[in-house]
Amino acid sequence: MSAPESTTASHQNYRRSLGTISLTAVGLGSIIGSGWLFGAERAARLAGPASIVAWVIGAVVALTIALTYSELGSMFPKAGGMVRYGQYSHGSLAGYLAAWANWIAIVSVIPGEATASVQYMSSWHFGWAQGLFDGEELTITGVALASVLLVGYFLLNWFAITLFAKTNTAITVFKVVVPALTAGSLLLAHFDTAHFQDHGGFAPNGWSAVFTAVAVSGIVWAFNGFQSPLNLAGEARNPGRSLPKAVIGSILIALVIYVALQVAFLGAVPTADLANGWSGLGYTSPLADLSIAWGLNWLALLLYADAFVSPSGTGMIYAATTSRMIHGVQENGHLPAVFGRVDRKTGIPRPALLLNLLIAFLFLAVFRGWGSLAEIVSVATVISYITGPVAVMALRRLAPDLPRPVKLRAMPVIAPVAMVFGSLVLYWARWPLTGKVILLMAAGLPIWAWYELRRPWAELKPHLLAGVWVIAYLFVMAGVSWAGGTEFGGRGYLAPGWDLLTVAVIALAFYRWGVRSAWQNPSLAQVRQELTAPAEVAGAGAAGDDAQRPAGEPEAARV
């Protein structure tokens, strides 16, 4: 089944103006958002000083999964890439479920960033500001102010991708400097080494709490930003070179910053605030509150300012990337054609931007606290990751002829390890949260049914057979989470240690099933034709890219 001419033309309307530095800024700007403002405290409440280890584990998980997506992103440098790969390898059912999970995970970050800004603002010493947050969630006034921020994010994306790139790079520089300055200043102001041994020891709540911190304290939320460059692949000048550098570089840079912040936070907490242990912490504006406690009023003011800049920068990026994801979902055949339109003059998918704005408003109305949104986003993110490791190896089997600007020899090992890591993080999120988010994933199936059940059975059957492993995986993981260890919210039917082994075995079994169930579906045939077509077929847009493409760069890097 070939794409309509209007859809092909819409891809040519994107401007290939983003280089390695811009894409790295996109990834780093996505990772360093509200997570750095709240993540250190939430991780410390769960894991104590061992929260440092939680950030390292989160980065390793993200990096492993990102390596699989880097190969896919360089193979298929198209807008909204993260919602396409499952469709290329397994057809409509698996592709839709992966796209739905990924979109839910990303679009809900946007109101989360606005919520973070307003929540930090509520600690200002003004009466009107203190009425924005009631300790658990935003008030009506707080929601109204967060809504204004949402509109601002989308307006910044409404005009042109070049404006977005210039604005985001400047914001990202600020977002890197301020966290680094915060960590250094707190380390110099006060650092109590006794905190790493007293109050229950290094891991006061056990190592299960460390694993749970990876899943729900904002760590997965933060590192999920690695996929933003992949979703903007359609606007990259040289995707084969710049995408892997941007993805891996942004994760590693962010890890250094987050670990430094976590160490500084742990050492700077006043001893009196630990009277009830690490779990008794309850700051409204964690880093700003510590700055004030140690007389760093200038730093507190800087943090209050950055509470707008960092989340707003991330919200702006995610507004851009989710609109490209909507374009990808539409091209997969699961949204009306209007959401695939890209403005010829600006290269902006404006109908998709408007749809995401409406959905962001809906999430803001339902989930008014940063913590509740962080939990939902984190679990949905992990669910969206499971198709990447499967798709990358399935496509090596199905389409060995397609150009791969990035191809790791170790991928046959990396991919199943990534599947195990993702499944473990999903389990660590604790029951019943895992069950609730899995139910949210199932809520998207009626949309798939509306578009796909019109097919003749002979045409629909292979899509169902190739995608049933995803549905089975979600049900099995929900069951394991329910029956698992009590330290992860389960009923205790699986003993500690054996539960983790069980999850790993299940992950490998479904990985094998998923790779074997991939098939030569129409979406793969269509993208194969696009990737292998002569350069002149791609039109004037591709010809313009040749001027900036180094000699010998693979054809796939300029689709």
Report pLDDT for 540: 42
Residue written as token pair 């509150």: 289
pTM as predicted: 0.81
Report pLDDT for 14: 47
Find, among 415, 447, 436, the residue nearest to 95 by Cα: 447
DSSP 3-state of 245: helix
Percent of the residues in the chain that have a pLDDT greater than 90, as a whole number = 42
Residue 92 has pLDDT above 90, yes or no: yes
Question: How far is 298 from 304, CA to CA, in rounded Å?
Answer: 10
| Mean of pLDDT values over 320-328 | 77
DSSP 3-state of 405: coil
| Mean of pLDDT values over 116-142 | 80
Residue 16 binned pLDDT confidence (cut-offs 50, 70, 90): low
Can you name the residues that pair with 133 across neighbouring β-strands?
Answer: 138
Q: Which residue would you say has higher pLDDT here, 8 or 531?
A: 531
Question: How far is 267 from 191, CA to CA, in rounded Å?
Answer: 4
Residue 124 has pLDDT above 80, yes or no: no
**What are phi and psi for residue 133, nearest 5 degrees?**
-140, 130
Report pLDDT for 545: 41
| Mean of pLDDT values over 244-261 | 92
Residue 552 has pLDDT above 50, yes or no: no
Find, among 98, 203, 113, the residue nearest to 152 by Cα: 113
In the chain, where the domains are located:
5-430+518-547
Question: How far is 375 from 457, CA to CA, in rounded Å?
Answer: 39
Report pLDDT for 213: 94
Q: Is the peptide bond before 432 cis (omega within 30 degrees of 0)?
A: yes
Residue 476 has pLDDT above 60, yes or no: yes
Residue 1 has pLDDT above 50, yes or no: no
Residue 338 binned pLDDT confidence (cut-offs 50, 70, 90): confident
**Domain 5-430+518-547, CATH class in plain words:** mainly alpha
Q: Which residue would you say has higher pLDDT here, 394 or 199?
A: 394
Q: Which residue would you say has higher pLDDT here, 128 or 217?
A: 217
Residue 159 binned pLDDT confidence (cut-offs 50, 70, 90): low
Residue 193 binned pLDDT confidence (cut-offs 50, 70, 90): very high
DSSP 3-state of 236: strand
> For the ranges 215-219, 326-330, 480-484, 554-558, which has the lowest average pLDDT?
554-558
| Mean of pLDDT values over 396-416 | 91
CA neighbours closer than 13 Å in the CB half-sphere of residue 45 = 16
Question: How far is 380 from 441, CA to CA, in rounded Å?
Answer: 8
DSSP, residue by residue, 534-547: -GGGG-HHHHHHHT
> For the ranges 403-412, 444-453, 498-507, 525-534, which has the lowest average pLDDT?
525-534
Residue 80 has pLDDT above 70, yes or no: no
Residues 6 or more apart whose Cβ sits within 8 Å of residue 428? 208, 211, 212, 214, 215, 488
